[in-house]
Structures are given as structure tokens and as C-alpha cells.
Amino acid sequence: MAPLILNSLEKRFASAAPAVRDLSLTVQQGRFLALLGPSGCGKTTVLRMIAGFEQPTDGSILLGERLLADAATMLPPERRNMAMVFQSYALWPHMTVAENVGYPLTVRGVGKDRARQKVREALSAVRLEAYADRRPAALSGGQRQRVALARCLVTEPDVVLLDEPLANLDRHLRQEMEETFREFHSRSGATMIYVTHDQSEAMALATDVAVMSEGRLLQVAPPEVIYARPEGRIVGGLVGQGSILSVRMPAEEAVRHLDWPRLRDALLHCNVAAPRSDVLVRPQDVILDGSGIAAAVMSSFFEGERYALRLQLADGQPLRAFSRQAVREGETVRVVLQSGWRL
């Protein structure tokens, strides 16, 4: 199998601003890519262009050296060897589970014995062998999503496309299905592209996260890199919890990972001649410590194992923190910012 290559991709609808603009991305074979961004950022449009449901206005899509689409060429979906899992499951209600899973094989003219074997293998992979003769109406939401996954697996696709497949499930089922997706990726070896606006899903599932905003690709990296070293204010605000502080720092100081002495100096000894920098501080790096700087407690909410605090620094900037001890609203605490990332 070959890498999926998006080259300077653009999509316009009528005279509106581009839904996707100048997007270039290479997804290596066997990777699990999450397209992450707010509603309307263009991620589903990218998925539909990859699937063959939309044609690019400009740029190209290739699978290895094979051209799938550009402004003049459009390979139909059925010739791309891709499978898609929709938010709505898209199961035939009059067919049994086995018939739903085997339908793509019927369309391709696969022999009955071979088709039955592949359907059994696919249902076994998603732990639904015992449900082969049931209708979709008799299944839970999570089980229906597994049927949709098995239908993907049975065709041995090069690329699996998932369009917010967990959006209709409750929290418990979503966690269960996340594990199913990880198992599916491991078993199938297929390249997977997963569209979501839920950062926790993206971080838990993907080997790579691509963050989009207003039709543009802002950053692509493994989840731990996106979280620890986001590029720019938008990515820093979209991924993880945190506060973005504006501080004055010398322009010649190129250090991006800031420790407490640097942060304390920037906050307490403001150099008015220095330009402003945005610094991302995660709440787990804000520690209540008597040697730190003063902050007013604006709110405190108990989350089970800890309290989530909303603080305000002396200059009015907001700061988020966690605490194992109860802290009263209106109280003044002292905090140490152990780490910050210069955006």
C-alpha cells in the first residue's frame, strides 16, 4: 500500500470563500490521522474529497503514484478501494447484520463461500459473531457502529474514512468504541482518517493529529507534540486545557520552552520596551506554592479527584489550575508556573 498525498488542495462552493485552501498533507500507509478542528473549518470537506464525493477546485489527491482526483480528473468512489464509516451508521434496516457486512462483497461479485468466510472473520474482529442473524433495530448504538466497522474490514480497503462516528454515542459507549477503533486499526493495518471536533477523541486514537481552522491546515504532529508544543495561538487554544498569557520578552530570546524563573521574571519585572509574546501554560503546570506570585480565586469546582480553579493574576490575566485541596472563591493564593510554551 502507498501513502495518501494531498497536494495544494482547494475547494470552493459557488462564489463563497474557499472551504479548503492550499492544504498539503501526506498520510503514510498504516497511520491513523485525526483531522481536528471546530465546525465549519473544512475537515469534512477534505474527507469527502478523499472519498470521491467532492471534486477539488484546485490541487490533487494521489494514492502513491495513482491520481485519484484533481480539477480535471475524478476517479469515482467505488474505484478508490476506500471505505467510509458515517455518523449515522448507514445500515440497511431490512438486512441482517451478516447481510449488511457482506453487501460490499455482493456488489463486487465475490463467491458465496468466500463471502461467508470473510463476513465471519470481519464479525469476529469486532466481536459480533453471535449477532450475525439480527437486524440493526435489535442492536445498541455501539453494536451498530461495530457492524459499520466490520463492513469496512470485509473489503480490505487501503484507506478507511471516519466522519465523526462517535458523535451519537453516550460517554460510556464512546470510550468502549475508542478501544474498538484502536483494535480495528491494529488488525486491519489500513490507513485511517478520522474527522472530529473532539480533541480528547483525537488525542486518544490517532498516531497523528492535523489541526484545521478556516479551511487551512495549521499543524500536523503526533498527539503528544501537538499538546506540548503547539504552533500558534489557535492550535494552543484548540488542543488541551490551558491559559494563554501575554508577556513582554526580549525579541532576541529565542527560547520557546520557558521555566519558572523566566516566567516569573516576565510577569513581575515587565520590560515595557520588549515586544509581547503569547505563552501557553497548562493547568497541571500551575502549582499552589507559597513562594509563587499572587492570584485571586475567581471560581473553584470539584471534579471528583481534584478542584478546577479559575484564577486571575495581578495584571488581570486569567489562569487555570488544579488543586487537591478545596480553595474558596475570593481567596488569594500564590502560584508557581512550572512550565510554559512560547507560541
Confidence of residue 73 (pLDDT cuts 50, 70, 90): very high
Please write the tens of the pLDDT for every residue from 122-147. 898 788 999 999 999 999 888 888 89
Per-residue CA distances from 189 to 101, 159, 182, 194 (Å): 19, 9, 11, 15
Closest CA to 207 of 181, 177, 174: 181
Reference 168, options 198, 191, 190; nearest CA is 198
Indicate the fold that domain 4-231 takes in CATH: Rossmann fold (3.40.50)
**Which pLDDT does position 78 carry in this prediction?**
86
Give SS3 for 136.
helix
Dig out the grid coordinates for 323 from the structure.
488543586
The pLDDT > 70 percentage for the chain reads: 99
Q: What is the pTM of this model?
A: 0.84
Q: How far apart are CA 12 and CA 281, in angstroms?
A: 37
Joined grid coordinates for residue 232: 500558534
Looking at per-residue confidence, does 175 or 286 come out higher?
Answer: 286
- Per-residue pLDDT of 169-188, as tens digits, reads 777 777 777 887 888 788 77
* Class for the domain spanning 241-342: mainly beta
Segment 192-223, tens digit of pLDDT:
999 999 898 899 899 999 999 999 999 999 99
Q: Is the dihedral of CA 33, 38, 41, 45 positive or negative?
A: positive
Any residues with CB less than 8 A from the CB of 117 and at least 6 apart, and which? Answer: none
Determine the Cα–Cα distance for residues 245 and 314; give it in Å rounded to an integer: 12
Mean pLDDT of 329-338: 96
In this predicted structure, the answer to whether residue 21 has a pLDDT above a threshold of 70 is: yes
Q: How far apart are CA 24 and CA 9, in angstroms?
A: 6
Mean pLDDT of the chain: 91
Q: Where in the chain is the domain with CATH 2.40.50.140?
A: 241-342
Q: Please give the pLDDT value at position 1.
A: 67
* Cα–Cα distance, 188 to 182 (Å, whole number): 10
Q: Taking the CA of residue 295 as centre, how many other CA atoms within 13 Å lie in the half-sphere pointing to its CB? A: 27
What's the confidence (pLDDT) of residue 219? 97
The pLDDT tens digits for 227-268 are: 999 999 999 988 888 999 999 887 766 789 999 999 999 898
CATH 3.40.50.300 domain residues, the chain: 4-231
Pairing of strands 286-302, 332-337: antiparallel
Distance CA 262, CA 266 (A): 6
> What pLDDT does residue 226 have?
94
